[in-house]
A and B are shown apart, each in its own frame.
Chain A
Amino acid sequence: MSTQAHAAEHHKESFVSKYIFSHDHKMIAKQFLITGMVMATIGMAMSLLFRLQLAWPGESFSALNFFLGDKWAPDGVLDPNMYLALGTIHGTIMVFFLLTAGLSGTFANLLIPLQIGARDMASGFMNMLSYWGFFISSVIMVASLFVESGPASAGWTVYPPLSALPQAMPGSGLGMTLWLVSMVFFIASQLIGGLNYIVTVINLRTKGMKMTRLPLTIWAILVTAILGLLSFPVLFSASLLLLFDRSFGTAFYLSDIYIAGEALTQTGGSPILYQHLFWFLGHPEVYIILLPALGLTSEVISTNARKPIFGYRAMVGSILAIGFLSFIVWGHHMFVTGMDPFIGAVFTFTTLLIAIPSAVKAFNYITTLWKGNIRFTPAMMFSIGMVSTFISGGLTGIILADSALDINLHDTYFVVAHFHIVMGLSAVLAMFAGVYHWFPKMYGRMMNMKLGYAHFWLTFISGYGVFFPMHFFGLAGVPRRYYTNSEFPMFDVFIDLNILITVFAIIGGFAQLLFFFNFFYSMVRGPKASQNPWKSNTLEWTTPVEHIHGNWPGKLPEVHRWAYDYSKPGKEDDFVPQTVPLEEGEKDGEH
């Protein structure tokens, strides 16, 4: 299509087709980002509310009463059922709505066409459907907060029978049904989106963009989409069967239950079946979150270290290895369910295998910094922070993967510390890195750096401040999901530490206001960005600052080299965009 045709199209757009039911991948990316930010605010606020209870159990807070009302926080004291609900929805929102849809949705949509040199996604319409599926599921999830009997409360993994029986807890009533309906929309949205990402990356790469020249962001997103496509349908069936057990008297997960003075007639099901199905998604899900985060980090670190990413092939190999292995490790969430010990041993083995590609990635990041020429942009600060959290949190995974050690640490705060650092913090830091790095691409303006640094240090330090001490709770045998530890005198030693954690959480929570302010202020008032502010090699920085339909005016760019020719000897600049043809005798890639 010619430039003029695009320009004409551009003019015809109404407000609705441009900002709401947009087919344009850049607009859809922004929609995912903003929706993700709104959901994250809710998820974060919830964690602050239950942190208040954990630090000062049973004390009255007007904030609790203000947000939760007299039913769930009578006299400002949190109700135990609401405590569980807050934890459940916090987990659901953070895992699915922020770090799955928010992270992948934003950066897959923004970067796939721009970095592979495509006019748009393979199907703009499906892309729009994907966003609106996500939007509907977000609305339903938020609506479930206002249900009379309270939102889902059985933990974000919603294990039956607890989640299947309204008699077991109030949150397993209508709130749970809405949770499941929301997830059904969410999964549909993920599948539509994921399919689109895969097709686009495979089919729409511009001339010269061989798979071996793909930026690592795209490799990571591609593998992520494949993981989602293979694992989300399993969660879909798990949710559907749970819905049947709840509403139509089936017994897929239920057997031999006596509750509320009554013996239920359902027999023959197994609650463990649900766990197998859930974690068959649940574990790849961890990498659905982590891989895009690692992809973004690779890009930001290489660009700002002004140095090729160390071991590109090894990085691609480890993404593929992690992707494959993530499907055969789910059983490590179930070591103490009474599963056959031999199968437990197999899962221990496969899980520890994942440590190898993960270690390779960590070493490669560190070595990329070595002898670099590092520009500490806010995005770079977040990325280095991410490498630190990835290592700190990843190492404790080695302990939890060991079935013998998991016996005593399973479901304690040690687990909470582990996954919040390796998955939560890492992915959030990477997501921030991505926003600071690609903000000029998204909005054509620069974010304020000083606020960015303040935001980084507050977030990073309080992140560690919150989650690092939790290892010690776990090693002392403090279980997660306890409304209070005050029934156990042996945990009294941790009262002060719990308060410290909450203080860090509050600081970290409010630090996000800096980000929000910076984000929205810069969107309108930030200094205009130049075309390639970070002097980066990838294709997205060859598009005009002003967004246009089809991304490039005129012909699509042609790619002649890999994305990591930073500080290449014999070149004038310390970067060589992918569109620059190879000189005679010049070698491409790792050579």
Chain B
Amino acid sequence: MNFLIILLSVLGLIALIQLVRVFEITGKLRGNNQDDIDFQENKLRGKLWLLFGIAYFGFFIWLVWEYGDDLLPVAASEHGAVIDNVLNFNWIILILAFAITHVLLFYFASKYYWKPNHKADFITHSTKLELIWTTFPAIVLAVIVIYGLSAWNDITDDAPEDSINIELYSKQFAWVARYAGEDNKLGEANYNFIGGSNQLGLITPETIKDRKSTLEDEVINIEAELANAPEGGAKEEELQENLDKKERQLAKIMTYERQNEVDPFVNADDDKIVNMEFHIPVNKPVNFQFRSQDVIHSAYMPHFRAQMNCVPGTKTRFHFTPTITTEEMREKTGNDEFNYLLYCNKICGAAHYNMQMTIVVESQEDYEKWLSEQSTFTSVETAQSREEEKEVSEEEVLAEKN
């Protein structure tokens, strides 16, 4: 097989060489000077531009015809409708500019082909024309800028007071949503608290206690290992480094502990954490806060015309008001399986292509019902720690039995 491919390539190459020679020889026979060009051929090349122009526009129209309906459906948020209007306004101008310039380009190319004993017009410039095509685009662009920026300012304005606060938390390669709970305040979080069941690093009096004791245990373990490690070895160095890290982390936790004594971290207690799918009520503003655990991700919710990067080390925000429920959108699109999606739109690693979460937009009642079924962070935490305690006591019982 490989031999055949090589043979074919070699034959192809030889054929090409022969072809080129034939071109050159026939060119010489016809008496063509290499510097000169064939009038008829040149004319044909000019006309080809017209043909290409038709094909190009045809391709464009075909794509619109074939795929125009497969683009994003109607915007499902208040500001999304505005964005779509701005976009459509831009399209009208741009397609017009595209068509006019291309028609002129291809028309001129096909019309003004070289003719022997003919000279081009010596036109160097035209101040009038140039003024026109500097000021005209400037005016059109001014309109585009003003229209676009007024939309931008509205979209990026502060979220309304009565917004629902939701956090979207990203990590390789999944999304987690967190609801602010009864107090509508998202509890504090810090990455040093991540561990065990506390996947978002939330800070509550319990997690401070838990984290502190875990770290203290780890420090004791490492110190014990360090005592046994051979002196001066790589092992010792590694352990020492690890110990330093844990101690630094512990110091961080202690600052939170002191702060907690003055001003307890109570906001996270009633927060609700959900995976895979999150719900929002229709016609109610939602104020999203974005965080990331590891690398930059981007929370992309195209049906709502919403996107915001999730940047480790900072919190970013975006708010919108959904206007169409999932059910309504299914009817509109005629697709029973339609779902609003949140997916990652910033390269974040191997499984970047599959980091998604379903969004359900529903009525206020359905939303409240669904939310009430979700358990709060503290209840999960306590259940978890009870579970652990139970396990420990069972182990103790077992140990005693033996």
Contacts and interface: CB of A to CB of B under 8 A. Distances in A.
Interface in A414-454: 446, 448, 450-451, 453
A488 B35 contact: no
Nearest to B154: A404
B249 A263 contact: yes
A401 to B, nearest CB: 9
B87 A399 contact: yes
Interface stretch (A181-189, A207-215, A478-486): A478-486
Contacts of A404: 82-83, 86, 148-149, 151-152, 155
B148 A402 contact: yes
Given A272-B311, A408-B307, A468-B63, A591 B113 contact: no
B112 A366 contact: no
Interface in B276-320: 290, 293-296, 298, 300, 302-303, 305-309, 311-314, 316-317
B67 A493 contact: yes
A348 B114 contact: no
Interface in B66-102: 67, 70-72, 80, 82-83, 86-87, 90, 94, 97-98, 101-102
Contacts of B102: 388, 391-392
Contact of B296 (A159, A269, A399, A569): A159
B352 A482 contact: yes
A356 B138 contact: yes
B317 A338 contact: yes
Interface string A460-494: 11001100110010011101011111011110011
A477 B72 contact: yes
**Which among A366, A468, A481 has the highest number of chain B CB atoms within 10 Å?**
A366
A438 to B, nearest CB: 16
Interface residues of B, number: 113
B322 interface: no
Interface string A377-403: 100010010011001100110110011
A19 interface: no
A481 B46 contact: no
B156 A258 contact: no
Contacts of A493: 67, 70
Contacts of B316: 337-338
B370 interface: no
A403 B152 contact: yes
Interface in B245-301: 245, 248-249, 290, 293-296, 298, 300
Contacts of B248: 265
Contacts of A306: 114, 119-120
A345 interface: yes
B3 interface: no
Interface stretch (A29-37, A194-202, A367-375, A548-556): A367-375
Interface string A341-366: 10011001100110110011011111
Contacts of A388: 56, 102, 105
Interface stretch (A9-17, A224-232, A309-317): A309-317
Contacts of A460: 52
B209 interface: no
B125 A530 contact: no
A398 B59 CA distance: 22
Contact of B124 (A305, A308, A457, A530): A308
Contacts of A344: 152, 156
Interface string B125-149: 1100110011001100100110011
A370 B61 CA distance: 27
A195 to B, nearest CB: 33
Contact of A448 (B23, B56, B101, B123): B23
A352 B370 CA distance: 46
A566 interface: yes
Contact of B101 (A259, A362, A375): A362
A500 B353 CA distance: 21
Contact of A305 (B112, B201, B307, B349): B112
Contacts of B191: 256-258, 263
Contacts of A69: none
A375 B42 contact: yes
Interface stretch (A42-50, A101-109, A112-120, A161-169): A161-169
Given A161-B312, A366-B101, A412 B345 contact: yes
A479 B342 CA distance: 12
Interface in B41-58: 42, 45-46, 48-49, 52, 55-56
Contacts of A71: none
A488 B90 CA distance: 29
A360 B151 contact: no
A184 B13 CA distance: 40
B326 interface: no
B347 A155 contact: yes
B360 to A, nearest CB: 16
Nearest to B311: A271
B56 A464 contact: yes
Contacts of B52: 460-461
Contact of B133 (A272, A363, A410, A527): A363
Contacts of A359: 133-134, 137
Interface residues of A, number: 128
Contacts of B108: 366, 369-370, 372
B124 A591 contact: yes
A499 B350 CA distance: 23
Contact of B49 (A384, A468, A481): A384
Contact of A372 (B87, B104, B112): B112
B115 interface: yes
B323 interface: no
B228 interface: no
Contact of A464 (B59, B314, B356): B59
A155 B345 CA distance: 13
**Which among A363, A387, A391, A392 has the highest number of chain B CB atoms within 10 Å?**
A363
A154 interface: yes
Contacts of B141: 352-353, 355-356, 398
Nearest to A530: B35
Contact of A376 (B46, B94, B354): B46
A484 to B, nearest CB: 6
A556 B329 CA distance: 75
A521 interface: yes
B380 interface: no
A463 to B, nearest CB: 11
B307 A391 contact: no
Nearest to A568: B122
A159 B296 CA distance: 8
B152 A356 contact: no
B20 A355 contact: no
Given A338-B309, A345-B152, A477 B70 contact: no
Contact of A265 (B105, B245, B341, B352): B245
B45 A453 contact: yes
A481 B293 contact: no
Given A345-B149, A388-B105, A488-B341, A372 B98 contact: no
Interface of B: 13, 16-17, 20, 23-24, 34-35, 37, 42, 45-46, 48-49, 52, 55-56, 59-60, 63, 67, 70-72, 80, 82-83, 86-87, 90, 94, 97-98, 101-102, 104-105, 108-109, 112-115, 118-126, 129-130, 133-134, 137-138, 141, 144-145, 148-149, 151-153, 155-156, 172, 190-192, 194, 201, 245, 248-249, 290, 293-296, 298, 300, 302-303, 305-309, 311-314, 316-317, 337-338, 341, 343-354, 356
15 contacts: A168-B349, A169-B350, A271-B296, A305-B120, A307-B122, A310-B126, A337-B309, A359-B133, A364-B130, A369-B112, A370-B108, A373-B119, A384-B49, A407-B83, A567-B121
Closest 6 CB pairs of A and B: A255-B313, A338-B316, A477-B302, A341-B156, A376-B45, A402-B148
Given A369-B108, A468-B63, 12 more contacts: A162-B348, A255-B312, A256-B191, A258-B293, A272-B314, A337-B309, A371-B121, A391-B105, A395-B94, A398-B94, A472-B67, A533-B35
